Chains A and B, each alone.
Chain A
Amino acid sequence: MDYVFHFSDVWEARNELAWGALLTVELSALAMVLSLFLAVIGAFARVSGPKPVRVAIGAYVEAIRNTPFLVQIFMLYFGLPTLGIRLDANQGALIALVLNGSAYTIEIVRAGIESIGHGQTEAALAIGLHRFQVFRLVILPQALRAVVPPLGSQFILLMLNSSIVSVISADELTAVAQDVQSRTFRPFETFIVVTLIYLVLSLLFTGTFASIERLAFGRKVAQR
């Protein structure tokens, strides 16, 4: 137990680590926005699409949610090139994060949609709105407001999961950490620092979600 910590080598690599952290933020933020976009469409189709579409989306959600993210990454990253589709590591990472994230997000948004009373839809149809207008103007805003907290925790998980894409050497934070530790032979110090960076990132994201919630829904939430 006479291990001596040396953080100076990790300090030397601070610029690389900062870039890695920045890429993690970019990758996760982009994946969050795209997942939410896909999830809104997916949840709408899952609730009010034709039967085959509903079944297909249900199957997709179950398949993604019951298999590990790592296996999904391998399938995409090693599988797609055999079909002649070339991806660089960062594109592969983004696609994997979005495909995985949207399955979880679809379920959350769907639960939000189903929590809105059916009377709302009937009333909106009765005053002459189209089916899609009913969804966009009446159901969706209320549904999203209801699911902000679970959406926030899901997006934090997405950000933490983005560390797994380091296995296909996208150059995000964990991949940079692997690089630094193999060069400096200081794995313990490197991973301590990087773990703390992730902790700070998840606090930052939590804070950002709280501000977005306040800005977007603040007054309405306060009224209830």
Chain B
Amino acid sequence: MRHFNLGDFDYIVLAARWTVLLSLYGLLTGGVIGVGIALLRTSRSVAGRVFAIGYIRLFQGTPLLLQLFLVFFGADMLGLPLGAEMSAVLGFGLNAGAFLGEIWRGAIQSVPVGQVEAARALGLGYFPRMLRVVLPQALRIAIPPTVGFVVNMIKSTSLAAIIGFVELTRAGQQINNATFRPFLIFGLVAVIYFILCWPLTIASRRLETRLGAAYQR
């Protein structure tokens, strides 16, 4: 057993960059999937809606940890070993897709139907209607809950530690195994997560109040 030193401190603080990167990649993947799910969920096609609902139910009704295990072990078994990092990105992305899809569906549906009807009456097809009429209005409503979800995403990336990817939590575990100062080390780890998450929590809350005020007129 050795003492906790400045090198350990640096190691943990620097591991936070993997947490940030993993969150970014997870959000990008999830964002692409989420747009697809939200559009399918609000589309006129019954099959599309059923698929989107099933996707959302599946990913919101099972533990994220199990989803990560399935991607990690599943890819391996099917003969395309992804490794911990790619599995984590894919797992977080699939999961985020369900949550973002559900958030954005709500935002799209909050745009008054009259707007869609008017756009259709003007002869706009699906994509120009969505891109130029519906989505710009939905965006305003979607931003606060989306920022709130980013906080969840950052916290969730700690689960990558369990499949062996070295990010903030795993780095803390490694140092704790060598020095055994759990309160100090996991306290430090928790503080770093807090510094990453808290500003976003506050931003989400502020945006929501401001938006609420705008809609009260």
Contacts and interface: CB of A to CB of B under 8 A. Distances in A.
A188 B62 contact: no
A164 B186 contact: no
Contacts, number: 115
Contact of A198 (B61, B77, B186, B197): B61
Interface in A1-23: 1-3
Interface string B158-189: 11011000000100110010001011001101
A75 interface: yes
B179 to A, nearest CB: 12
Contact of B63 (A2, A63, A71, A198): A198
B118 interface: no
B81 to A, nearest CB: 13
A72 B70 CA distance: 25
A161 interface: yes
B155 A68 contact: yes
Size category of the A interface is 35 or more
B78 to A, nearest CB: 5
A74 B66 contact: no
Contacts of B78: 1, 3
A152 to B, nearest CB: 13
B66 A67 contact: no
A89 to B, nearest CB: 16
A194 B172 CA distance: 29
Nearest to B187: A75
B79 interface: yes
A202 interface: yes
B182 A75 contact: yes
Interface in B37-96: 58, 61-67, 69-70, 73-74, 76-79
B201 A79 contact: no
A174 to B, nearest CB: 6
Contacts of A74: 169, 172-173, 176, 182, 186
Interface in B185-217: 186-187, 189-190, 193-194, 197-198, 201
Interface string B89-109: 000000000000000000000
Contacts of A78: 176, 180, 182, 186
A167 B158 CA distance: 12
A62 interface: yes
B149 to A, nearest CB: 13
B70 A174 contact: no
B186 A79 contact: yes
B141 interface: no
A65 B66 contact: no
A188 B183 contact: no
Given A66-B193, A71-B189, 13 more contacts: A1-B79, A62-B198, A67-B190, A68-B156, A68-B159, A79-B183, A82-B183, A160-B64, A164-B63, A187-B77, A191-B69, A194-B66, A198-B63
Closest 10 CB pairs of A and B: A78-B182, A68-B158, A163-B63, A187-B73, A66-B197, A68-B155, A75-B186, A79-B182, A202-B61, A160-B63
20 contacts: A2-B79, A3-B78, A62-B198, A66-B194, A67-B155, A68-B155, A68-B158, A69-B158, A71-B169, A74-B172, A75-B186, A78-B176, A78-B180, A78-B186, A160-B63, A164-B65, A191-B69, A198-B66, A202-B62, A203-B61
Interface of A: 1-3, 62-63, 65-72, 74-75, 78-79, 82, 156, 160-161, 163-164, 166-167, 174, 177, 181, 187-188, 191-192, 194-195, 198-199, 202-203
